[in-house]
Amino acid sequence: MGAVTSTIAAKFAFFPPSPPSYTVVACVGGGGGLTIPEISPAASEGVDVLRLRTRRGNDIVAMYVKNPRAGATLLYSHGNAADLGQMFSLFVELSARLRINLMGYDYSGYGQSSGKPTEYNTYADIEAVYECLKEQYKVADEDIILYGQSVGSGPTLDLASRLPNLRAVVLHSPILSGLRVLYPVKHTYWFDIYKNIDKINLVKCPALVIHGTSDDVVDCSHGKRLWELSKHKYDPLWLKGGGHCNLELYPEYIKHLKKFVSYVSKRKAAGSSKATEPDDAEQNKPVGSRSLSEMPELLSRPEAARTSLDSRIGNPNKVDPPENSRLSSAYTEKRTKGDRKLFVGEDSIPCSM
C-alpha cells in the first residue's frame, strides 16, 4: 500500500530541475569539506555544505547558513520544482534578515541527492537533516523552526506532528493533501499523499500560515483550512493578489516573518507553554472555508487545465502586482526565470519556484 501511494506521489508531485543547478565538489586542500563551485567563495563564507545518509539509504545534500547573531535555527523544506542552487540566495537573505541559522536540503532525487523522490523518502530526508541539527550542531528542539513551502509542507508537518517541543512551524502556500490539490474531496483516501489535513492538529507549537489569495496552483482555501485546524494559531498572512511562487516579493512577507520569529523567541524566553497572539497583532476570527462536494468519478475524471501562473503575475488586471521588495535582486531574477510544475498529471502547470 505504501509503495502504491509513493508511486502516485512521484507522478503528481515531483519535478526536480534537470539538469541540477549546482554541483558538489571536495574543498581545495582536503579536510573532508564540500563546496558548491557555482557559488562564489565570498557568498559561501559561513555556509556548510553537507552530505547526509538517510534511513532509506539515500545520500542527500544539505547546506547550513550560519548567522553569528542567530537566536533560532530554521529548517527549510523547499517546493517541488527547485533545488539548493536556486534557493541559495533566498536562504542567505532569510538568515540575515531574520537573524537565524538556516538549514536547507534537497530531497532524494533532487539536485545532487541520490535516490528517487517519493513521499516516504522525503520523510526520511527531513529526519536526517533534523538529526544532523541535533547531533552535529547541537540544536535543541526548542530552538528549531520548521518551514515548509508548498509540497515541502508535507515533510514539515509529518516531522512537526511527532516533535512536541519545537519552537514554531511556518507553512508557506501549503497543501491539505496531494489529492485535494487536484480534486475537492471531503474525505482522506488511503492512496492520498501528504495528508497534512490529518496531521496539523498534532502540532503543539505556534503555526504561521502564509498564502496568496490569487494562488491558482494550490488554492488559498488549503492554507485557510490548515490555519483553522491548527491548535496554536498565529495571525496568518493572506497576501492579496499573491500567487504560488511570488510571495517572497511582497514586503509584507518578510515583515510578518520577522514579527513571528520575534514572537516565538519572546515566548520561549518567557517560558510560556500556551500560544497566544502578540499584543500588537490583530486578532483574527476563523476563516470559513468553502463547502467542498464529493466527486463520484474521482479516479476517472481528467484534471482540469489551469492557466499559467507566470501569465497571471504579468497581468495586473488579474491580480494586484506586489510592491517592490527589499529581497535581493539576484534572488528575484532567479525566481522569475524558467518553467516549473506543481502537482500535474498529463498537463503541466508552469510555475517559477
Active site residues: 150, 215, 244
- All residues at 6 or more sequence positions from 197 whose CB lies less than 8 Å from its CB, including other chains: 176, 177, 180, 188, 225, 226, 229
One-letter identity of residue 28: V
What is the rounded CA–CA span in Å between residue 24 and residue 47?
Answer: 13
What lies within 8 Å, CB to CB, of 77 at 6+ separation is 105, 122, 126, 146, 147, 148, 149, 152, 153, 154, 155, 156
Residue among 55, 54, 57, 63 nearest 24 (CA)? 63
For residue 34, count CB atoms less than 10 angstroms from its CB and return exposed for 0-12, middle for 13-18, buried for 19 or more: middle
Instruction: Give the other-Cβ count within 10 Å of 352's Cβ.
Output: 21
Distance between CA 230 and CA 201 in Å, rounded? 5
Q: Hey, what's the cell of 15? A: 519535478
Q: Pull the grid cell for residue 115.
A: 535516490
